[in-house]
Structure 1
Amino acid sequence: MEVVAERNSRAQAAQMLVEEFETIASASPETVTLEFLSGRLGVKKAPDGDHAEIMRWLLTRCVRQRPDLWLYAERGLIVEAYRKGRARADGVLAPDGHFAAHGEWSEAEGVLMTVEVTSYDEDTDSRDRREKPAAYAAVGIPVCLLVDRDECTVTVHSGPDRGRYRDTHTVAFGEEVALPGPVGITLGTEEFKRYVR
């Protein structure tokens, strides 16, 4: 029992502090995108062209249906319980002009939705499907949209409650999906079929 407690204590002590992460992230070159989730430093893979096309398509659909909002790409958010995480969401839906005068990392207050589009790497399962939705729920972001290119599905997480989303709805590419309030947007997902391997 004591050995397990000692290992856990050492593991917690070995984790990086958020202040250390911010120092490293601010000094990293523009070609490297870093995130900090669950006390671990992560390198976010550069998006490919298909990823960029999905984000472009989502931006146009969101703005057409809600011209009062903007889908910000690669926005840094302060996330997780006790605001100890830093995530760079593929997309952040917020009121137009919301991030004016913000630094590299913004509080999640006022954010209506985050968007994650899976990348073809080994980290996608833990990061995009589990860690990021949990981190976004922990800070009360109402909706998290996951475009999963491996599974050819779109998952809508909503109703954040005590560090998790109460509601999860998944549709296959080609089906229509309604994004609940406060987003209030409906998306046809047929277009996403063009952007998978």
Structure 2
Amino acid sequence: MTVIDYESQIHPEEFDEATAIMARTITSIRLELIDGKIRSRVVPDGDHGRIVQWLTRICMQSRPELWLHPDQGLKAQTYRKGRARPDASLAPTDAFVGQGEWADPAPVLMTVEVTSYDSDTDNRDRVEKPRAYAQTDIPVYLLIDRDNCVVTVHSEPDGVRYETIHTVPFGKEITLPEPVGITLETEQLKDWVR
């Protein structure tokens, strides 16, 4: 991942305009604006995509009124000054209709990140993203950590951080708390790590 750190904070409107231009020409990276820093990362690998498919199937079977929206950009962080693109967001089926690239996160029940094998995954997925999603009051943040072979569920955001964090190794069962209310059997995740 490449980090572009500006001395002064970039404005979300400038970021939105720049990403719209880049999206028309570059398809191999994904951009986000977190803590005033533009972050880019390469498109995920096949195992990463398979994990999102696995989770989508579970969510559809458990909560058919919801959809696991892949790669929907969200306005995130305090006063919506950030832009995050979770690997997936669990929300009602029509939650993002008509909203464009950066949607209001209010209907989101859970964001999902699957770690990538890049140099910035530790800071991005384990530090910055949980803080951004907690500041946005997203009820649950699910991290599927392929580096450490664990699943971590963050819940009970207080506007700054998640108050409850529960981690289990791949192979153990974990329940995603309300308002999600889904139990995951994580044994199969062992098949999709290096």
TM-score by length of 2: 0.93
Q: Is 1:96 equivalent to 2:90 in the alignment?
A: no
Contact 1:33-1:45 within 8 A present in 2 as well: yes
Indicate the residue corresponding to 1:112 in structure 2: 109
Q: 1:23 aligns with which of 5, 17, 36?
A: 17
CA distance in 1 between partners of 2:40 and 2:87 (Å)? 14
Q: How big is the alpha-carbon RMSD for the aligned residues of Structure 1 and Structure 2?
A: 1.2
Greater helix share, 1 or 2?
1
Q: Which residue of 2 aligns with 1:151?
A: 148
Q: Which runs of 5+ in 1 are unaligned?
A: 1-10
AA in 1 matched with 2:11? L
Can you give the 5+ residue segments of structure 2 that lack an aligned partner in the other structure?
none
* 1:168 correspondence with 2:186: no
Higher-Rg member (1/2) = 1
Aligned partner letter, 1:117 = V
From 164, 189, 193, the counterpart of 1:192: 189
Residues 6, 37 of structure 2: 8 Å contact kept:
no
Letter aligned with residue 26 of structure 1? A
Kept in 2, the 8 Å contact 1:45–1:119? The answer is no
Match of 2:81 among 84, 88, 91: 84
CA shift, 1:168, in A, is 0.2
TM-score by length of 1: 0.92
- Displacement of 1:15 in angstroms is 3.0
Match of 1:58 among 55, 59, 65: 55
Aligned residues: 187
